[in-house]
Amino acid sequence: MTSLLTQYQDNDVVDNFALITSAEVRLTKTGKNYISLTFSDRSGDLPGNLWDASQEQINEFIQGKIVKLQGVRGAFKSQPQVQITSLRLTQAGEPNNPADFMAHAPVKTADLDAQLNDYLLMISQPTWNRLVRRLFKQYHDQFLQFPAAKKNHHAFNGGLAFHSLSIAQLAKSVSQQYPQLNADLLLAGALLHDLGKVIELSGPIATEYTLAGDLIGHITLIDEQIVLAANELHFDLNSEEMILLRHVVLAHHGLLEYGSPVRPMVMEAQVLNQLDNLDASMQMMTGAIEKTAPGSFSTRIFGLDNRRFYKTESES
């Protein structure tokens, strides 16, 4: 019976369908070609090398192809890998949809969509409501499918919407505990803050930064979209409500050195930044702890200052 790729233990026999998510032709020290491959399914990745690769294999086994993979699970420098014993492209009648081999948000796309819409409806301030509504409509599909990052936190299909939804949920409970907050502004910021990533990143598969992503960045890109949308909706860019919304979004990284051009100077901007950090921490810690044995420490988490986290004995 077949396991998922990341569930195998050392010396297990691997016999799976998998998606090739990276394929690089390299040279051994002694000058022979091999292909360094990453195989993926919805549980994650497993790397493996195809030694003495022929030119035909180099042409066949490229990023985006679905393959039938056979081999044995081992480890090289403490990282799991598969020793390939057989590799071929899939044939008619075998799995052929790349999307089936990608990690997904733990919520279905339709549910993400519905829940985000519910939060949108809670924004009673009309300018903010119309602006968020317009941008949600314009980027509907990308918003639901993109990851929230190339790596680190929420780097999976639907991660962007899942993360935004999480922040909206936190925003709601925090607004209830602290009524001095403007719940509408906080919620509008929560829903929009990372939407620029649909322009910054190339898409849900083999995610890369676009040129605009590298040279302009997602914070300025969402500000651009807010400005253009406000222009079309004939909103006054100099009104307090437009300045506040842009500020909350621009300042959400909290510190200039994290890429926000201004630091939070309204309460909702400060809170959005702290909720964003909280959800990112939760996601990174949860991802690392899931792969850790009880009573031991996780690998170091880059996004949390390279700290390791301890999984208690009692956690399953």
CA nearest 246: which of 219, 217, 280? Answer: 219
Rule CB under 8 A: say whether 122 interacts with a second copy. Answer: no
DSSP codes joined into one string, 269-292:
HHHHHHHHHHHHHHHHHHHHHHTS
In the region spanning residues 218 to 277, those forming contacts with a second copy, defined by CB under 8 A, are 219-220, 223-224, 227-228, 231, 237-238, 240, 243-244, 246-247, 250, 256-267, 270-271, 274-275, 277
Rule CB under 8 A: say whether 302 interacts with a second copy. Answer: no
Binding span for a second copy by CB under 8 A among 12-20, 39-47, 113-121, 167-175: 167-175
Rule CB under 8 A: say whether 211 interacts with a second copy. Answer: yes
CB of 68 to a second copy, least distance (A): 19
Instruction: Confirm if 5 and 46 have CB atoms less than 8 A apart.
Output: yes
Instruction: Report CA-CA distances (Å) from 304 to 86, 178, 276, 280, 283.
Output: 39, 28, 14, 9, 11
Pairing of strands 79-89, 44-50: parallel
Phi, psi dihedral angles at 200 (to 5 degrees): -70, -35
Instruction: Report CA-CA distances (Å) from 124 to 4, 97, 100, 119, 230.
Output: 45, 41, 38, 10, 17
The 3-state secondary structure of 109-143 reads: HHHHHHHHHHHHHCCCCHHHHHHHHHHHHHCHHHH
Phi, psi dihedral angles at 223 (to 5 degrees): -60, -45
Question: Would you state the structure tokens that stand for residue 282, as one six-digit string?
Answer: 């939760």
- Say how many C-beta atoms besides its own lie within 10 A of residue 114's C-beta: 11
CB of 183 to a second copy, least distance (A): 13
Rule CB under 8 A: say whether 115 interacts with a second copy. Answer: no
Number of residues interacting with a second copy: please give it, by CB under 8 A.
78
Cβ closest to a second copy, residue 95 vs residue 287 = 287
CB of 266 to a second copy, least distance (A): 5
Cβ closest to a second copy, residue 117 vs residue 173 = 173
CB of 92 to a second copy, least distance (A): 32
Q: Which residue in 93, 97, 215, 234 binds a second copy (CB under 8 A)?
A: 215
Cβ closest to a second copy, residue 75 vs residue 121 = 75
Q: Which residue in 212, 229, 292, 303 binds a second copy (CB under 8 A)?
A: 212
Site string for a second copy, 276-295 (x = CB under 8 A): -xx--xx--xx--x------
In the region spanning residues 7 to 26, those forming contacts with a second copy, defined by CB under 8 A, are 26
**Residue tagged 């409509």 (tokens):** 137
What distance, in Å, lies between the first and last C-alpha atoms of the chain?
Answer: 23
Rule CB under 8 A: say whether 30 interacts with a second copy. Answer: yes
Instruction: Confirm if 193 and 272 have CB atoms less than 8 A apart.
Output: yes
Rule CB under 8 A: say whether 149 interacts with a second copy. Answer: no
Q: Which residue in 4, 7, 64, 76 binds a second copy (CB under 8 A)?
A: 76
